[in-house]
Amino acid sequence: MRYYSLNGHTALVDFREATLNGQAPDRGLYFPEQIPALDPDLLKQTRYLSKAELSFRLLKPFVGSAIEDAALFRIISETIAFPVPMVPVTGLIQSLELFHGPTLAFKDVGARFMSRALGYFSGLSENSTTVLVATSGDTGSAVAAGFSGVEGVNVIILYPKGKVSSVQEKQLTTCGANIKTFAVAGSFDDCQQMVKDAFMDQELRRRYRLTSANSINVARWLPQQLYYWFAWQQWQEEGSIPVMSVPSGNFGNIAAGLLAQKMGLPVTRFIAACNSNDTVPVYLQTGKYQPGHAQATLSNAMDVSNPSNFVRIQALLGQSPAAISKWLTAYRISDATTKDTIRSVYQQYQYILDPHAAVAYAALSQYLETHPHARGVLLGTADPVKFPEVVEAAIGRQLTMPDKLLPLMQKPSQFTDLPPLFQALKEQMMSEQI
Ligand SMILES: *Cc1c(COP(=O)(O)O)cnc(C)c1O
């Protein structure tokens, strides 16, 4: 498989190059040259395959010969070595719980695959790689955990100071060793811009072999399709196919779902559930794409005003709002509705939603009001305990911290403060060998 840049001005590269580069030299996102259709016989048999076997068959065409089969199978098996249960919430809505991995959020899947793939590639070369990543919370934790102790790979994380939860902050700032964390006095968009500028800076590129671990990296993006298939493996409703509601920020997760659908996964429609950062819902309604400044909300991992993966959705579905709306509906959900949803779903069904899943639930409920025969799956992207402040206030009781979080909360934090300016990041990176 080869990958081209969605900006259209660079040579085709294989999976290894695309992973190591992160972003194409013309600043575009990499996209697979073809999207392989799943063999119809295999589609009928998905239920009888193990998760690892199915995943190997799905990812193999995208990886090609860049990773040997045995190594790829091992990387995949390790990546998905935790349960992904589909839990009924109401008669119409089920939650695909993606938060049973080490950092309690779905980003573990992409980060674990990517860290292992990079570890494999760096084992084949002399030079160390530096992963530079901007995070609104969960990416950084998953990347820090995924890369912690991986030889030949250093990690630099930028997060917006004061805009992540207490648990996320601990996960970001306590890995030490090959992980260096900057607390930026700005928004996630500022962090993302600083990272983008760093990738374009010739001096930094001479000093570091830089790559990104944001969902723009194909090695993070592509494995996210896997759990949509795990949902289908568990789908019990004969004669119907699901609507999938995805809490969306940078739109990497939902773009991976659309990729799965293109390969043959049965899905009626995708719902892009957004918080008040509503660039895409507004675009689909008015035809105007007008990103502004990101607003801070309760679902902070979705506080993105200019979603970087939206171009992949256009590549998959088409360039016009009408073409996109054939398969995707976008909703804007306010913080007030998010809190109400957490409270009422807990009271009615004793199911605890995190703020991101609550946005997906609210959007799905609105859709189901006008489509009474539809059946929906929402993606539970984070464990509610990652957002204790918001969730406890909404349900009126304390959450039990899982045992695995207790030692983490005791560890001392280590980070460096940074103003929201690329020059400040550059000075840091030039002055010390990170
Ligand atoms: C990152 C994240 C999202 C948004 O995913 P995108 O791929 O950026 O759209 C949603 N929920 C949680 C908990 C996240 O960490």
d(CA 149, CA 213): 16
More confident residue, 300 or 279: 279
- Tell me whether residue 233 is in a domain: yes
pTM of the model: 0.92
Ligand 1 pocket, residue 247 CB under 6 Å: yes
How far does the centroid of ligand 1 lie from the alpha carbon of residue 40, in Å?
31
> What is the per-residue pLDDT across 208-239, written as a single tens digit (0 to 9) for each?
988 888 778 999 999 999 999 999 999 998 88
- Tell me whether residue 32 is in a domain: no
> What is the per-residue pLDDT across 326-385, written as a single tens digit (0 to 9) for each?
999 999 999 999 999 999 999 999 999 999 999 999 999 999 999 999 999 999 999 999
- Tell me whether residue 191 is in a domain: no
- Tell me whether residue 367 is in a domain: yes
How many domains in the chain? 1
Q: Ligand 1: which residue has its CA nearest to atom 10? A: 247
Mean pLDDT across the stretch 106-133? Answer: 89
Ligand 1 binding pocket mutation candidate from 138, 215, 275 (most atoms within 8 A of CB): 138
Ligand 1 pocket, residue 377 CB under 6 Å: no
Q: Ligand 1: which residue has its CA nearest to atom 15? A: 138
Ligand 1 pocket, residue 138 CB under 6 Å: yes
Q: What are phi and psi of 285, to 5 degrees?
A: -85, -40
d(CA 334, CA 381): 18
Residues 6+ positions from 80 with CB-CB distance below 8 Å: 51, 52, 55, 109, 226
The first and second tokens of residue 342, run together, are 């957490």
Q: How confident is the model at residue 434 (pLDDT cuts 50, 70, 90)?
A: low
- Tell me whether residue 288 is in a domain: yes
Q: How do beta strands 376-380 and 93-97 pair?
A: parallel
- Tell me whether residue 58 is in a domain: no
How far does the centroid of ligand 1 lie from the alpha carbon of residue 392, in Å?
21
- Tell me whether residue 378 is in a domain: yes
Tokens 């695909």: give the residue. Answer: 96
> Of all atoms in ligand 1, which is nearest to the CA of residue 251?
9
> What is the per-residue pLDDT across 24-81, written as a single tens digit (0 to 9) for each?
989 899 999 999 999 999 888 999 999 999 999 999 999 999 999 999 999 999 999 9
Ligand 1 pocket, residue 140 CB under 6 Å: no
Task: Assign residue 326 the CATH number of its domain.
Answer: 3.40.50.1100
- Tell me whether residue 175 is in a domain: no
Ligand 1 pocket, residue 356 CB under 6 Å: yes
Ligand 1 pocket, residue 257 CB under 6 Å: no
| Domain with 365 in it | 83-105+221-395
- 347 burial class (0-12, 13-18, 19+ CB within 10 angstroms)? exposed
How far does the centroid of ligand 1 lie from the alpha carbon of residue 105, in Å?
9
> Of all atoms in ligand 1, which is nearest to the CA of residue 249?
9
Ligand 1 pocket, residue 112 CB under 6 Å: no
Ligand 1 pocket, residue 216 CB under 6 Å: no
Helix (H, G, I), strand (E, B) or coil at 58: helix
The first and second tokens of residue 40, run together, are 């119809």
